[in-house]
Amino acid sequence: MLTVADVASEPSLNLQVLVEGDLTRAVTSAHVSELAAPADWLRGGELLMTVGLLLPMRRAECRAYLSECASAGVAAVALGLGHGLPYQRCPRPMIEAARECGVTLMTVPDETPFIAVTKWVFETIARQERQELQTALEINRSLTAVATSSAPLSALLSAWSQASITPCVVCDAGGRVIGQTPATNPAVVDAAVAAIDSARQSGAGWSVIEGFEVHAVGARDPLAFIALGADMDLRSRSSSTVLVSLIAVDIERRNLSGQAERNRRAQVLAQLLRPGLKRERALALAATVGLDTGPCQAAVVTATDAESLAFRVQASLPDCLVLVRGETVEIVHTDLDALVATLTTHAPGLACGIGAPTDADALAVSAMQARSLVPVSARLGRIVTASEGETVSLLLALGEPDAVRGFADAVLAPLDALDPRERLELLRTLEQWLRVNGAWDPAAARLSLHRNTVRNRIERVATLTGRRLDDGEDRMELWLALKARSAVSLQK
């Protein structure tokens, strides 16, 4: 980078600094203008040269001129002095105004034409750019050399950290960090991961988010994401494309090398889901894929793009088993919460059933339960699990709300007509009594009442509803009415 100090110290130009502003500012070009208001013709970073031909050398006008230059991003102002020019020395108002505005003010002597300054600035910038590009080529060669090492990703990131201060963070398709430049500040890593999460949600192949360039690896379903600090110098910018390409090649290679193992695990799952598999054989198969540590459950999801869904699920749950059959994805995992969270994220709105936890030899049963729950999931618009337990409420929830409500109201109408306090007492007593299958003492214990109080309330319910509570069908009607009312309230 060429700075104001570099220009001022060049002996061949013989410039003199009268007012020191920020000598570390970058000089991007040298420009000559005699306009009293040059801002519209400036882009920032200029060494602005003038002989002051149209500039009144009064303090107010000089302050306005230099203030406008500072606002436009000028690196420094140089006043030309000499024979045949308006000024032989820099006027005092110009110097005082430069101090007030904090602008570096230099003078160009008579023996140095403006063209000499312009030529030197552009030649120096070009020389620096050539040096930066040469350095970038050397970086590219070093990156390419380590790309064939036994651990390419870590070697690439290590080589990059030695050549550039630009941080690089690599995440897998599920958003987990799989690599980062050594000694990267944890806060920077967190910010890069947040930028990657935003890119994952937007589905963009390349984007700049919160100070990071985020590159997706993979044409259809991203295999990984690379986040690079967006504030790069020319050298890093020139080499960053090579870094991204080499990381992408390594990740693609990993994906291809892992395909055989994914296929093997899918074949094992297909065998485990076959009904009638002998326990010894099932346990032996499960041990080969890490399912011998405890119960696991099967999930079944219907999706028009089943292969894509399977890939996303595997990326989020690397230890799961996935099998695609047409438009159906079958998944087995040991952690129900992790499975539900993954499906909620990657299969929103899709019909999905999850069977009960079982040992490996009964996975076919769990998968059968999951398949039977898929239509229920489609009707309810959410994931349904066999472990939810409230089977009656689940089935009632599938009915039309008006019909279910009408049935509950018809059975419980005599109780609804009572005083609110008595109605709640009778309904609560009825529910707890039915839960313990009509046993007086357990119901009394649940309600913290005397058994005679429970008996009296149940007899009153029988009288009001016209049901014989010693009859199984009548008791079932009351139970269904209570559950129907609960199911309708959940649908609201």
Q: What is the CATH number of the domain that holds 375?
A: 3.30.70.270
Rounded Cα distance between 153 and 184, Å, is 15
Six-digit token pair at 112? 């140095």
Domain count, the chain: 4
pLDDT value at residue 485:
72
**Is residue 371 classed as helix, strand or coil in its secondary structure?**
helix
Residues 236 and 314 in one domain: no
Q: Has residue 404 got a pLDDT over 70? A: no
pLDDT, tens digit, 9 for 90 and up, residues 22-44: 999 999 999 999 999 999 898 99
Is 351 within the bounds of a domain?
yes
pLDDT, tens digit, 9 for 90 and up, residues 57-76: 999 999 999 999 999 999 99
Number of CB atoms found within 10 A of residue 417's CB = 9
Is 259 within the bounds of a domain?
no
- How far, in Å, are 204, 292, 343 from residue 272 at the CA level? 38, 12, 22
Is 125 within the bounds of a domain?
no
**Is residue 206 classed as helix, strand or coil in its secondary structure?**
strand
List 31's β-bridge partners, or say none.
48
Rounded Cα distance between 298 and 146, Å, is 43
Q: Has residue 180 got a pLDDT over 90? A: yes
Domain that includes residue 162, residue range? 147-254
Residues 230 and 156 in one domain: yes
Q: Has residue 399 got a pLDDT over 60? A: no
Is 127 within the bounds of a domain?
no
pLDDT value at residue 389:
47
Six-digit token pair at 131? 């040096």
Residues 480 and 445 in one domain: yes
pLDDT, tens digit, 9 for 90 and up, residues 78-103: 999 998 899 999 999 999 999 999 99
Strands 384-385 and 352-354: parallel
Q: Is the pTM of this model over 0.75?
A: no
Is 466 within the bounds of a domain?
yes
Query: Of 109, 104, 55, which Cα lies nearest the Cα of 81?
Result: 109
Residues 164 and 250 in one domain: yes
**Is residue 456 classed as helix, strand or coil in its secondary structure?**
helix
Six-digit token pair at 458? 């149940």
DSSP conformation class of 360: G
Rounded Cα distance between 167 and 225, Å, is 14
Is 215 within the bounds of a domain?
yes
pLDDT value at residue 398:
52
